[in-house]
Structure 1
Amino acid sequence: MDDRDGRGALLQQGLDNKPTKLTTGSSDCDTHDLPRARLVAACEAYLSFGAEHPHLYALMMGPNPRPDDTTGNDGRELRLNDSGEGIERLVGAESFRLLVQDVAAAAADGTSRADDPFLTATALWVALHGLVRLRADAPLGPQPDPGQLNDALIERIALLEPAPIAIPER
Structure 2
Amino acid sequence: MPGMSPTTRRVRNRRGEGDLLRNEIVSAAERLVEQAGGDETLTLRAIAREAGISAPSIYAHFEDLAAVRDAVLDAGFDRLSQAIDDSTSTLDLATDPVRRLLAGCRAYVDFAMREPASYRLLFSRGRPSVDTPDREDQAPPPSDPTSPGLDGIPPAKQHHLDAFRMLIDGVSSCVAAGRSTSTDPVADATALWTALHGAVSLRQHLPKFPWPPLHEATDRFAVELAHLTPA
- TM-score for both structures, normalised by structure 1: 0.77
Q: Deviations over 1:8-30 (max 9, x none)?
A: 2321221221211111111144x
The residue that corresponds to 1:156 in the other structure is 224
Give, in whole Å, the separation in 1 of the partners of 2:63 and 2:195.
29
- Aligned counterpart, 1:56: 118
- Number of paired residues? 158
Deviations 1:20-43 (A, max 9, x none): 1111111144x5541111111111
1:74 is matched with which residue? 135
Classify the secondary structure of the residue corresponding to 2:89. helix
The runs of 5 or more residues in structure 2 that have no matched partner are: 1-61
Aligned AA (1:150): T
- When residues 153 and 2 of structure 1 are mapped into structure 2, their CA distance, relative to the original with a 3 A threshold, is farther
Residues 21 and 45, structure 1, Cα contact 8 Å, conserved in 2: yes
| 1:18 aligns to 2:99 (yes or no) | no
Q: Match for 2:100 among 38, 46, 63?
A: 38
Partner of 2:188: 120
CA distance 1:72–1:4, shift in 2 (3 Å) = farther
What secondary structure is seen at the aligned counterpart in 1 of 2:212?
A: coil
Q: Deviations over 1:82-123 (max 9, x none)?
A: 743134635631111121111101011111111111111111
**2:151 maps to 1:85:** yes
Q: Which runs of 4+ in 1 moved over 4 A?
A: none
The percent identity for this pair of structures is 31
State how far apart, in whole Å, the 1-side matches of 2:70 and 2:120 are: 14
The aligned residue for residue 103 of structure 1 is: 171
Residue 157 of structure 1, CA deviation: 1.1
- The 8 Å contact of residues 179 and 229 in structure 2, kept in 1 or not, is answered as yes
Larger relative contact order, structure 1 or 2 (CA cutoff 8 Å, min sep 6): 1
The answer to whether the aligner puts 1:4 opposite 2:72 as a matched pair is: no
2:192–2:226: 8 Å Cα contact kept in structure 1? yes
SS of the equivalent of 2:167 reads helix
* Residues 203, 211 of structure 2: 8 Å contact kept: no
Provide Cα deviations, 1:101-146, integer angstroms capped at 9, x if missing partner: 1110101111111111111111111111111111111255332232
TM-score (norm 2): 0.59
| SS of equivalent residue, structure 2 residue 182 | coil
Q: CA deviation at 1:77?
A: 8.3
Whether the aligned pair in 2 keeps the contact of 1:40 and 1:154 (CA below 8 Å) is yes
On the 8 A contact 2:168/2:185 being kept in 1, the answer is yes
User: 2: CA distance between counterparts of 1:28 and 1:63?
Assistant: 36
